[in-house]
Amino acid sequence: MQLKVLGCSGGIGGENRTTAFLLDEHVLIDAGTGVGSLSLESLLAIDHIFLTHAHFDHIACLPMLLDTVAGMRRGAPITLHARRDTITILQEHVFNWRIWPDFSLIPDESNALLHFSPQEVGETHEVAGCRITALPAVHTVPAVGFGLDSGKSTVVFSGDSTGGDAFWAAVNSTQNLATLIIETAFPVREASLAHAARHLCPATLQCELARLTLPAEILITHLKPADSELILHEIEALGLSARALCTGEVIEF
Ligand SMILES: [Zn+2]
Ligand SMILES: [Zn+2]
């Protein structure tokens, strides 16, 4: 199974794209601006979208993805998996006929393009041969991380989160953990902003990673573009065994 990184930045500009991963051909994990680099053919192949949360950097391309493929999928729905709270936020603030049409009613309710599939923390949805489990997350809005279990190994993506007891309990009970993708959005000098925004900085990353009891490759995501080099330098200076995730890289698992 392949997890392709379409976007892994905390912002845009140049090569930076916000969070989105393509799991093989048919499953999208988050729908940030990284989705914009996919071909029309690849967009058409997406049958399932799993969202960590409703912040704009994780959903920016969702409305346009739906609009782009709406007339071409010949009635085949796209299923959006997310917490009920996240679905409600999207319904109230995005698919409200003002920001964007409600694709769960287009062309009509019984043949709609967009189908919501609520997934609460701890629940596993098996799609396209992958067991995808919603993991606990601590953020400013309802959020989850995901455990992606191919049957051979598991990639954990923490989403936007400061970690927390429940998250590490879930990660440390993963049978076949191979890779942990974890955010570090801010440098140490922005520690108070990171805390207020429920993101990590290198100092809090160090505290959180100390709670990991299993061996795993650690990949850092969601670096703010203006400070990405500084954040990586700070992580290196702390002696943490981790490297930056790269747009375009493919994780085999
Ligand atoms: Zn967020
Ligand atoms: Zn984010």
State pLDDT tens for residues 141-196: 999 999 999 999 999 999 999 999 999 999 999 999 999 999 999 999 999 999 99
Q: Which residues surround ligand 1, an ion (CB under 5 A)?
A: 55, 160
Residue 33 above 90 pLDDT?
A: yes
What is the CB-side half-sphere exposure of residue 203 using CA atoms within 13 A?
8
**What pLDDT was estimated at residue 74?**
82
Burial class (CB within 10 angstroms; exposed 0-12, middle 13-18, buried 19+) of 212: middle
Q: Which residues surround ligand 2, an ion (CB under 5 A)?
A: 57, 160
Please state, for a pLDDT cut of 90, what percent of the chain lies above it. Answer: 98
Q: Which helix (H) or strand (E) holds 117?
A: strand 114-118
pLDDT digits (tens, 9 = 90+) for 76-102: 999 999 999 999 999 999 999 999 999
Confidence of residue 2 (pLDDT cuts 50, 70, 90): very high
pLDDT digits (tens, 9 = 90+) for 188-244: 999 999 999 999 999 999 999 999 999 999 999 999 999 999 999 999 999 999 999
CA separation for the pair 231, 204 (Å, rounded):
12
Q: Which helix (H) or strand (E) holds 89?
A: helix 84-93
How many Å lie between the centroid of ligand 1 and the Cα of residue 29?
14
pTM listed for this prediction:
0.98
By C-alpha distance, which of 213, 214, 206 is closest to 182?
A: 206
CA separation for the pair 209, 192 (Å, rounded):
19
Q: Which residues make beta-bridge pairs with 183?
A: 221
CA separation for the pair 86, 74 (Å, rounded):
27
Which ligand has the nearest atom to the CA of 140? 1
54 dihedral zone (left: phi>0; alpha: psi -120 to 50; beta): alpha
**What pLDDT was estimated at residue 209?**
98
CA separation for the pair 64, 68 (Å, rounded):
6
| Average per-residue pLDDT for the chain | 97
Please report the sign of the dihedral spanned by the C-alpha atoms of residue 122, residue 83, residue 61, residue 244. negative
Q: Which helix (H) or strand (E) holds 132?
A: strand 130-136
**What pLDDT was estimated at residue 75?**
83
CATH code of the domain containing 238: 3.60.15.10
In the chain, how many domains are there? 1
CA separation for the pair 19, 8 (Å, rounded):
5
Which range marks the domain in which residue 146 is found?
2-252
For residues 193 and 237, the answer to whether their CB atoms sit within 8 Å is: no
How does DSSP classify residue 61? T
How many Å lie between the centroid of ligand 1 and the Cα of residue 150?
26
CA separation for the pair 165, 211 (Å, rounded):
9
